[in-house]
Structures are given as C-alpha cells and as structure tokens.
Amino acid sequence: MRETIEKCVCKALLGEVYTTPKPGLVDLKDNGAHKDMDVHTFEKSTAAIAPYIAEMFCEGYANQQSLENLFARIRQIGIEAEKAMFEATKGINTHKGILFTMGIISGAAGYYYRKQHHFCVEEVLTLGGAMCQKALQNDFEKIINKIQASKSLIDIPLTHGEKMYLRYGIRGARGAAQDGFPILADYLWPLFGKYKKERKSGHTLNLQILLWAITLSEDTNVLKRGGIEGGVWLKKAAQNILEEGGAFTQKGISEIKRLNTECIQKNISPGGAADLLAATLYLEELSFNLNEV
C-alpha cells in the first residue's frame, strides 16, 4: 500500500510541474517568475517528500486514536518532510504548501480507507476538515494573541501565511483545510470529472483546472508578489481565457503563453493554484488506485 500511495504522490506532483505552458509557474518550457528553481528542482523535491506523504496515509490507516491526535502526528511527519525537501533543494521552498494539503488528504484517506475499503473524494475531504478544524482554529487564535501581546509589530516573527491573514483576513491553505477544501470538493474535482467524460485529458485538462483554480482561489503567493491589484488582474486574465474556451482551444493556449510572459514581467506566480491542481491530480490517482476492482 505504501508503494502505491508514493506512486500516486509522484504522479500528481510531477503531473503539475510537467503541465506546459503555465502562467508564471515552473514547467517544461521555462521557470516562470522563479529565478531560484526549475523543473529539476521539483523532481528532486518530489522524490524527497513522496515517502513522507505515503507515511501520512499509513499513519491514518493505522490510527486507533482521535482524529485530532492523527492530525498532530501528520504535522510532525510534515516537519520531517520539509527538512527532507529543503535538503534536496538546497534550501528552496518548492512544495511546502502542497505538503500541508496533501498531508491532510493522505491522513484522512488512510483513516477512511481502513474503515470503508474504498475511496470517496467528497467524504475524505470532509473528514480532513474535521480532523484539523480545532487545531487550525487554535493556530489563528495564537496569531491574534501574538499580536496583542507584543509591544512592537517589527519584533514579531510571522510566516507568510500569518502576514496574509493579518493584512487581508485571508486564511489561505489552513482556512481551506478547516472548511473541508471547498474549492476542491465543490468545483475542481467535479470539473475534472466532467472534462474527463468529455474525453479531455493530458496537459490541456490540467491547464483548464489550473485556470479555474486561479479564478476561484485567494492565492497568497500572488498576493505576496503582486498585492490585491495583482490578484485581481490575474483572476480577470484567467477568467477571460476561460470565456474564450480555455486550454481546449488553440487561442486559449496562445493566451496562456502570453499571460506567462506578463506574469514573468510582473513577477507573479500562482503557486496556490498550482497546489490545487496537484491536489486534484492526487485525488484522481487515489480514486483510481484505491477503487480498483
């Protein structure tokens, strides 16, 4: 089972990075708006973290305690995975965001699979939200308490996600997890299934899902690089491409290439949307492999 999950992780993460062309993101053609990483960096990172994400699934499968205790264990494995990632990439953050999302999904999937002997995307995502809801709410409360207890904001060490929460009220990946990953459950996963029934596949399908992810999400990576204005601009650009047929048309592909050039010029990279694409691909791999007859 562990080997199967590890392969699912690799196919999803590499499927995301190999999808080409992408706006502002690393792919097979260029490095997007990133100067410190390329596709080979992602390959090394994927190989480093895949065993840990598979371990999270196995932890969920073996769990005999509460869901809260399971999440605490998933977090600890995640810390070890981050260390392995940074060692493999020489300090470059390639997969920290998706580690969090895939870790919760993996733990919930293992827990659910042991009890039900199959995999249901919607129920696993809901279970993932229940698993981490209380702990992540405590995280947000700690952020506020940290601010209230400090005499100087300058002296407070804040993560990127914490800064986005305080500045814009955006909960990011933690908020999405708390809520049971609504963008995945309500939009991207159903869209993925719809497009597959229409015989869409490969890079064009992945690109279409990525465009939808950009329009639907409050991407803290975009906000960090481009602020609110950059976020509004990118969402509008992706929406315009979708209205023209998206990645399923030659014009759409041309517009994605043009958008990539503009993202590079503006130094904007929708890493959060890329994570949502990778998570969608992971759900597809888990669904296929864990529901095989």
pLDDT digits (tens, 9 = 90+) for 88-111: 999 999 999 999 999 999 999 999
Q: Return the higher-pLDDT residue of 132 and 169.
A: 132
Question: Around Cβ 38, how many Cβ atoms within 10 Å?
Answer: 16
Q: Tell me if residue 97 falls in helix, strand or coil.
A: helix
CB within 8 Å of 41: residues ≥ 6 apart: 26, 89, 92, 94
Q: Which helix (H) or strand (E) holds 52?
A: helix 39-62
Tokens at 35, concatenated: 């100067």
- Evaluate whether 216 touches 205 at the Cβ level (below 8 Å): no
Residue 152 is predicted with a pLDDT of 52
Contact call for residues 6 and 286 (beta carbons, < 8 A): no
Q: In the numeric block, which tokens belong to residue 161?
A: 């996600």
Residue with tokens 């919607």: 122
100 closest CA partner among 276, 232, 250: 276
Between CA 162 and CA 139 the distance in angstroms is 9
Residues 100, 107: Cα–Cα separation, whole Å: 11
Dihedral over Cα of 40, 41, 47, 50: its sign: negative
Residue 263 above 80 pLDDT?
Answer: yes
Domain of residue 84, residue span: 2-290
**Secondary structure class of 182 (helix, strand, coil):** helix
Name the domain count of the chain.
1
Neighbours of 43 (CB within 10 A): 17
pLDDT digits (tens, 9 = 90+) for 20-62: 999 999 999 999 999 999 999 999 999 999 999 999 999 999 9
CA–CA distance, 205 with 246 (Å, rounded to integer): 10
Q: List Cα–Cα distances, 210 to 75, 156, 183, 186, 292, in angstroms.
A: 27, 35, 12, 15, 27
By C-alpha distance, which of 223, 217, 122 is closest to 176?
Answer: 217
Mean pLDDT of 237-259: 96
Q: What is the pLDDT of residue 21?
A: 96
3-state secondary structure of 121: helix
The yes-or-no verdict on residue 85 having pLDDT over 90 is yes
State the pLDDT at residue 293: 41
- Encoded tokens for 178: 């708390």
Structure tokens at 256: 């994605």
DSSP character for 153? G
pLDDT in tens, 166-222: 777 778 888 899 999 999 999 999 999 999 999 999 999 999 999 999 999 988 889
